[in-house]
Amino acid sequence: MPASVMGLQPAPAKMFHTKSRTGCQLCRARRVKCNEAKPSCSHCARHRIPCLYDRNRETFASNKRSTDGPFGTFPAGSTKVAEVPSPRNGSDGPPESKARRTLELRLLHQYMSKTGPAIAIDDHSRSAWCELVPLWSFRSEALQYAMYSVAALHIAKADAFKDPIMIDAHQTYLEMALREHTTIFKEAWTLASDGEESIAAQWIRGLPIALDTDARLGEDKRRGFLHLLRRKQSDELTEPWDKGIQEAYEHTLSYIGGIWIAVNNHEATGDICRRLVVFPMLAPPRFLDLVEELRPRALVILMHYFALLSLLRDFWYIGDGGEREVYAIKATLVDEWLDFVSWPLEIMKTKLSSPYR
């Protein structure tokens, strides 16, 4: 799903600014610049959510002074891992050193003991995430760096994003992973592209929900959401509408409705999570276009998806993302569409527990 879809705003021109290290928790977690206004920064005020400052400049400066040298030197007995410099500006990454080896060993242990099991959504996928990914990473630097990045992010989140070293490690290894992925797939994509026999296409088709058209598009799946398709006279005068748009809305609601049926039938949490996670790949392209155009009906339907995603807040890599998106969409709607937000707000009062945290 494009970034503009998830953020609900057209992507602005890239601005090269320094991310605030002393901003509020949300801005640091999202890695965006915080204006540090009190009692609420501009981002939190716009989304109407609590704004929490848990780091002041004096404390942060003191913590930074406790390190020495390019990788940092910590007092004896410290459990912190030395900071690895970022590979920005075209560098090949931090140089080989004891500090880097120690950090990567810690991140590997973190991934195999905690992060991998937490990513697994059921017992069937547990061995793949916990055993195969570390094994395959020995043959792929892209996968290895991605594994380190996710492990560092997991540690940072568990510490409420108070550890600047792990935040920096996450960003450093993410950049390294993306650089390697770009190199690998730049040529591969020109060969595979949208080919029906490409691995990506086969992977999508291999998902049961992707193969079962009725499970995704069946009319019976959207019966509980037909009110989202009804058009008033004012809509008929102002809202773009044709067969393609109608089918995009219907198919999206069938998919969302199928997930809601699975929740009510108490199906396995892992199966529900899988269907929610692959939604961006299976959603009708026309629906995604309508979201990018900020069409109110598309945003309301997307709000229902994020409300269901919020049921999985116990999965650490989902957290409160669904809830934040619901409130962000609500803030963009005009009054006539606010009648449709009661169901998403009600759904967010419950949750599905993750067996692996």
d(C-alpha 348, C-alpha 277), whole Å: 17
Query: For every one of its 357 residues, what pLDDT tens digit does the chain have, with 9 covering 90 and above?
Result: 444 444 444 444 444 445 556 788 777 766 678 888 888 888 778 776 777 776 655 444 444 444 433 334 444 344 444 454 444 444 466 788 899 999 999 999 999 999 999 888 777 778 888 899 999 999 999 999 999 999 999 999 998 888 889 999 999 999 999 888 877 766 665 555 555 555 555 545 545 555 455 556 678 888 889 999 999 888 888 899 999 999 999 999 999 999 999 999 998 888 888 889 889 888 999 999 999 999 999 999 999 999 999 999 888 888 899 999 999 999 999 998 999 999 999 999 887 765 444
Kind and range of the H or E element at 74? none
- Digit-coded pLDDT (tens) for 169-192: 999 999 999 888 877 766 665 555
Is 169:103 a contact under the CB 8 Å cutoff?
A: yes
- Indicate the burial class of 349 (C-beta count within 10 angstroms; 0-12, 13-18, 19 or more): exposed
Residue 68: φ, ψ to 5°: -145, 140
d(C-alpha 177, C-alpha 184), whole Å: 11
Q: Please say whether the dihedral angle defined by the alpha carbons of residues 310, 316, 320 and 321, taken in this order, is positive or negative.
A: negative
- Digit-coded pLDDT (tens) for 63-92: 444 443 333 444 434 444 445 444 444 446
Confidence at residue 67, expressed as pLDDT on a 0 to 100 scale: 42
- Indicate the burial class of 70 (C-beta count within 10 angstroms; 0-12, 13-18, 19 or more): middle
d(C-alpha 44, C-alpha 46), whole Å: 5
Peptide bond into 344 cis (omega under 30): no
Q: How far is CA 163 from the centre of its chain?
A: 21
d(C-alpha 310, C-alpha 291), whole Å: 19
Kind and range of the H or E element at 38? none
Nearest to 148 by CA among 185, 189, 94, 188: 94
Residue 138: φ, ψ to 5°: -70, -20
Q: Which residues are CB-neighbours of 37 under 8 A, at least 6 positions away?
A: 45
| C-alpha distances out from residue 331 to 64, 145, 324, 328, Å | 38, 37, 11, 5
What tokens does 78 get? 């410290």
CA angle 357, 267, 227 (to 5 degrees): 110
